[in-house]
Amino acid sequence: MIWAGGKLRVWPGRPAPLGAHWDGAGTNFAVFSGSAANEGGAPDEHGGVTLCLFDEDDAEIRIPLPERAGSVWHGYLPDVGPGVRYGYRVTGPRLRPGDLQDPSKLLLDPYARALTGSLRWTDSVQPASGDGSAADSAPDMPRSVVVNPWFDWGQDRRPNTPWHRSVLYEAHVRGMTQRHPDVAPELRGTYLGLCSPPIIEHLLALGVTAVELMPVHQFVHDRRLIEAGLRNYWGYNSIGFFAPHDTYGVEGGGRGAHVQEFKVMVKTLHEAGIEVILDVVYNHTAEGGAGGPVLSFKGLDNPGYYRLDPEDPSAYVDYTGTGNSLNMRHPSVLQLIMDSLRYWVQDMHVDGFRFDLAATLARELHDVDRLSSFFDLIQQDPVVSQVKLIAEPWDVGEGGYQVGNFPALWSEWNGRYRDCVRDLWCRDRGVLGEFASRLTGSSDLYQDDGRRPHASINFVTAHDGFTLADLVSYEHKRNEANGEDNRDGTDDNRSTNCGVEGPTDDPVVFAHRDRLRRNLMATLMLSQGVPMLLHGDEIGRTQGGNNNAYAQDNEVSWIDWSAVDSEFLEFCRGLIALRRRHPALQRHRFLTGRTVAGDTRPDVAWFTPAGVEMTWEDWGHEARQVAMWLNGDLAETGPRGEVIADDTLLVCINAADQPSAQVLPDERWAAAWTLVLDTASAAAPPSTRYPAGGTVQMGPRTILFLERR
């Protein structure tokens, strides 16, 4: 073998760690493959794993890995360093049902720290027929890349924002910056663009504490989308669980420079006090089901990595709607996921994870099992258990809706919060009783498990569905641009058009929509639990009614920074500032309705429009108005034992279409009140003082927020 003019040396190397690891002198390669079977312990004509290196001219050099430890094949190459591109080929008889190993397929390293190049959708990447006629897939495949792990983190410190003080911001690396006029053109759509001064200034002024990034693991653009002239914009189609997506790098991947750029992004955001949470997709891969491409896992160990139908191993069990589900019963799959999570925490310094379709990860056999191996591993892991863990608590399989059922370490996207808040404000449904529970942290879902209010990630909008502006402008989705005849995306939007579908010049409709947006955002910020905003909602971003813009890597999804709704942006900034200055809105523990120690009054009380405490009869389906009193004596302490206290607060809600009066509670509850927020207008209300037992006028569909003065 010739490499840069010399003999390419191969040493035995080590079976751990998995992946390609440069130690400053050479690179150790180790890969798991239960399909590369033979009767000996070393590669021969009966089986093995071949390392494929690619030189500057993309010529391939094949090197059989010389050693095997169990199902891990390994070797050390002292002449290989960072920037070298590589892949694997697997040879061996198909001894097990479902085996798909084929030496004509170049395979990506599941543990690759970087990938480069685009997948070309040709027949070469499809499963071979077995007649020996399969074309070599290497010309059409991306490459794994050996990276230099060194990075100067300097004094990087995780912000470690307490859960109860967190405000999350779901963002897309590309969509956030692609159209921002103050981001340098070469940085738009990249990791470095996301941490550029204009973006950080916006995030800090808004008051968010963490960005929750949509998938940045290396992903694949689906064949159907490419052939239709579209792209997998969202990125929920992972193929590399250790590799940041290459096209979000300034250099478009290249030889792994984007790994360093990702680290720069994290370090810069940390310096600003902003945490980085990754949306991770461990439930499936980009290889799809039967007939899907052979890119990595299928060729290395198809029956090990995937859930196969025991009655027909050519078919895949699919709980995700993507064609396959990772086999959470296999130790190497669990190891892959845990190794990946630890890598992103320890080497990339991220602060937490949001797990896509997390119910799939809990399926040992078919049922969702809260005590599954995956949760056991998370619980006992000294690294992963210490960061923020968020579940999307559902999948598409039977029994997959598991809101409220994840273990104690976990927070959850609270889908019931979203639905209830939308029902109240957008659909005028009689849900005031449930709304009260959602407003106070959803203790009905989480308290019995010993969890805290931060278990509830409260959201009204997310990437999947309407934006906030579209939620109050459309009753029907407009997904024709996705190329699926408007069949994709949910029809259960719980939205309203306020009388006109889509764009309008009617000032009455505009005013109605703006008020609803203010109500929805105010509800989010006045609720116990952890609020999450969708990027661009604060400036009025629209997708033109598309509620499933997964394939729209274009102006449909990118934030239009030239069309900022400045009035609403200032309103949102004020709301978040209001929340942050009131500990009573960020409680450590659930409200109980019982008296607080040293006080004859409870921690929370509810009042009718007449100013008297609510009874069970008052919570009927016809109720549209309520006032929530929050005790400023929290009976809570800070991290150093300091007493946490706040003003006593009153939140008045009128969800009816008619104006109403609200009688304020009597002197037992406060001597006087000052109006701080009125969602009837985006402007701050006059600082009006009301006596105990006084009456405040409320407009239709309005929230008032008052402080004891």
Number of CB atoms found within 10 A of residue 282's CB: 24
> Under 8 Å CB-to-CB from 528, ≥6 apart: which residues?
439, 440, 441, 453, 456, 585, 586, 587, 590, 591
CB of 406 closer than 8 Å to CB of 370: yes
CB of 578 closer than 8 Å to CB of 677: yes
CB of 480 closer than 8 Å to CB of 544: no
Distance CA(457)–CA(166), nearest Å, equals: 10
Q: H or E element: which one contains 627?
A: strand 625-630
CA distances (Å), 75 to each of 21, 30, 521, 584, 646, in order? 11, 7, 56, 59, 62
The DSSP secondary structure of 227-282, one letter per residue, reads HTT----S---EEEEEEE-GGGSTT-STTTHHHHHHHHHHHHHHHTT-EEEEEE--
CB of 118 closer than 8 Å to CB of 286: no
Distance CA(89)–CA(688), nearest Å, equals: 74
Location of structure tokens 């077995």? 130
The DSSP secondary structure of 79-140, one letter per residue, reads T--TT-EEEEEEE----STT----TTS-B--TT-SEEES----SGGGSPP-SSS-PPP-GGG
Please list, residue by residue across 50-61, b when 16 or more beta carbons sit within 10 angstroms of its beta carbon and e when fewer do.
bbbbbeeeeebe
DSSP for residue 669: T
> Under 8 Å CB-to-CB from 110, ≥6 apart: which residues?
18, 31, 32, 240, 241, 242, 296, 297, 300, 336
Paired tokens of 599: 């006080």
> Under 8 Å CB-to-CB from 56, ≥6 apart: which residues?
none
The DSSP secondary structure of 132-191, one letter per residue, reads S-PPP-GGGS-EEE--------TT-------GGG--EEEE-HHHHHTT-TTS-GGGTTSH
Dihedral class, residue 229 (left if φ above 0, else alpha if ψ from -120 to 50, else beta): left
Q: Helix 415-426 crosses helix 432-439 at what angle (to 10 degrees)?
A: 130
CB of 310 closer than 8 Å to CB of 334: no
| Strand residue runs (E) in 424-505 | 456-458
Instruction: Please pick, among 170, 222, 318, 392, the residue that the annotation labels catalytic.
Output: 392
Paired tokens of 476: 């029907």
Say whether 356 is catalytic.
yes
Distance separating the N- and C-terminal Cα atoms of the chain:
82
3-class SS of residue 339:
helix
Distance CA(109)–CA(85), nearest Å, equals: 11
Identity of the residue numbered 305: Y
Rg of the chain's alpha carbons, rounded to an integer?
28
Say whether 613 is catalytic.
no
Q: H or E element: which one contains 419?
A: helix 415-426
CA count, 13 A, side-chain hemisphere, 124: 16
3-class SS of residue 352:
strand
Instruction: Please pick, among 356, 470, 646, 678, the residue that the annotation labels catalytic.
Output: 356
CB of 337 closer than 8 Å to CB of 241: yes
Which residues are part of the catalytic machinery?
Answer: 356, 392
